[in-house]
């Protein structure tokens, strides 16, 4: 992807402003107004956390119907799809994804595996599914709905990153490298925002994902989530895609191995976190 040319002076000024913003926002002290705003945001989330109030559960219901729907040239459902625990077994599967699959000889996340099952199991043309990978106004996403349904089957369970196979270990190492890799016109990396305590973007706190523990657990265990600001359920694929877009990197391809590698690393950081999905966020 060719990026637009930016004058050196403009780029330098933009980077200086961005660096200053991040530095200023990285101070852990909060004003009373910020404290009050965060409390109100959290109160709003709690009001919508009940299944009868969280619109994300509508995606779960749609995903359940899609899971059982017969489609493709083979006219079969996804109920025979093996997500790691055996064909059709969903309880606990999401908690162990991404993982290596012998039949594909690849490490796959949930959405990669679903696309593989659609192709191999159903004989289903996934072109339209990929084109609608992210939902929009009046346009649902099969991938978001199916991921919400599958992930919900692991709610209450612990994140268990799979790091036994050589390719799983390799993906974790690649993901860590990608987390710290700087690039794009702003020379940002994931670590620019997520490797220090107390950083913020406006009223939004930025979790430090560079260390294992409670913060990483709470972050990764809450995806997929219903984004109030977007009126849509979003998956980790969308979150990472949007992060790269905001960093002004060329956006990654949907279902790419690079995003899976980054997810493996983040799941490693979040090992032991209790899954509660779909959650609800700003």
Read off the pLDDT of each residue in 144-157 and give the average, rounded to a whole number: 98
Work out the percent of the chain whose per-residue pLDDT is above 90.
75
Tokens matching residue 208: 């430090």
The predicted structure's pLDDT at residue 168: 98
Q: What own/partner pairs with CB < 8 Å and gap ≥ 24 does 126-133 have?
A: 130/254, 130/255, 133/237, 133/238, 133/254
| Cα 139 from Cα 120, distance rounded (Å) | 26
Does pLDDT of 147 surpass 60?
A: yes
| Cα 236 from Cα 275, distance rounded (Å) | 14
Structure pTM?
Answer: 0.83
The predicted structure's pLDDT at residue 201: 81
| Cα 160 from Cα 157, distance rounded (Å) | 9
Confidence grade of residue 41 (pLDDT, cut at 50, 70, 90): low
The predicted structure's pLDDT at residue 3: 36
Q: Are 111 and 235 in contact (CB under 8 A)?
A: yes
- Residue-wise pLDDT tens digits, 219-278: 999 999 999 889 999 999 999 999 999 999 998 999 999 999 999 999 999 999 999 999
More confident residue, 218 or 198: 218
Work out the angle at residue 94's Cα, subtended by the Cα atoms of residues 108 and 46, and round it to the nearest 5 degrees: 130
The predicted structure's pLDDT at residue 26: 43
CA distances (Å), 253 to each of 59, 111, 227, 257, in order? 23, 13, 22, 9
CA distances (Å), 100 to each of 59, 71, 169, 177, 238, in order? 27, 26, 10, 19, 22
Tokens matching residue 205: 């706190």
Of 27-36, 97-106, 170-179, the one with minimum mean pLDDT is: 27-36
| Cα 145 from Cα 114, distance rounded (Å) | 12
- Catalytic residues, by residue number, are 243
More confident residue, 88 or 52: 88
The predicted structure's pLDDT at residue 27: 44
Angle between helix 257-269 and 236-246 (nearest 10): 100
CA distances (Å), 204 to each of 12, 26, 111, 140, 255, in order? 26, 12, 27, 27, 27
Q: Are 199 and 22 in contact (CB under 8 A)?
A: yes
More confident residue, 13 or 124: 124
| Cα 142 from Cα 148, distance rounded (Å) | 10
Does pLDDT of 14 surpass 70?
A: no
The predicted structure's pLDDT at residue 37: 64
CA distances (Å), 8 to each of 16, 23, 62, 186, 219, in order? 12, 22, 49, 12, 37
| Cα dihedral 157, 159, 163, 165 sign | positive
Q: Are 258 and 205 in contact (CB under 8 A)?
A: no
Read off the pLDDT of each residue in 125-152 and give the average, rounded to a whole number: 95
């Amino acid at each position: 992807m060719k990026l637009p040319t930016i004058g050196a002076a403009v780029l330098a000024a933009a980077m200086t402003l961005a660096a200053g913003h991040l530095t200023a926002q990285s101070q852990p002290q909060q004003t009373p107004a910020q404290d009050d705003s965060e409390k109100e945001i959290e109160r709003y989330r709690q009001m919508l956390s009940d299944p009868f109030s969280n619109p994300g559960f509508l995606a779960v219901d749609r995903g359940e119907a899609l899971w059982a729907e017969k489609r493709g040239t083979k006219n079969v459902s996804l109920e025979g799809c093996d997500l790691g625990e055996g064909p059709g077994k969903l309880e606990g599967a999401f908690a162990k994804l991404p993982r290596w699959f012998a039949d594909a000889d690849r490490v796959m996340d949930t959405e990669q595996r679903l696309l593989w099952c659609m192709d191999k199991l159903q004989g289903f043309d996934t072109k339209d599914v990929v084109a609608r990978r992210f939902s929009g106004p009046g346009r649902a996403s099969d991938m978001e709905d199916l991921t919400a349904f599958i992930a919900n089957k692991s709610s209450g369970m612990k994140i268990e990153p799979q790091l036994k196979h050589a390719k799983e270990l390799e993906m974790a190492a690649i993901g860590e490298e990608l987390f710290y890799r700087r690039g794009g016109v702003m020379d940002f990396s994931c670590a620019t925002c997520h490797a220090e305590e107390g950083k913020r973007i406006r009223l939004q706190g930025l979790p430090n994902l560079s260390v294992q523990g409670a913060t990483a657990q709470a972050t990764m265990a809450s995806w997929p989530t219903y984004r109030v600001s977007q009126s849509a359920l979003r998956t980790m694929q969308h979150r990472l895609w949007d992060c790269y877009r905001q960093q002004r990197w060329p956006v990654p391809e949907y279902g790419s191995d690079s995003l899976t590698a980054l997810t493996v690393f983040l799941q490693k950081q979040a090992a032991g976190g209790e899954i509660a999905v779909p959650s609800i966020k700003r």
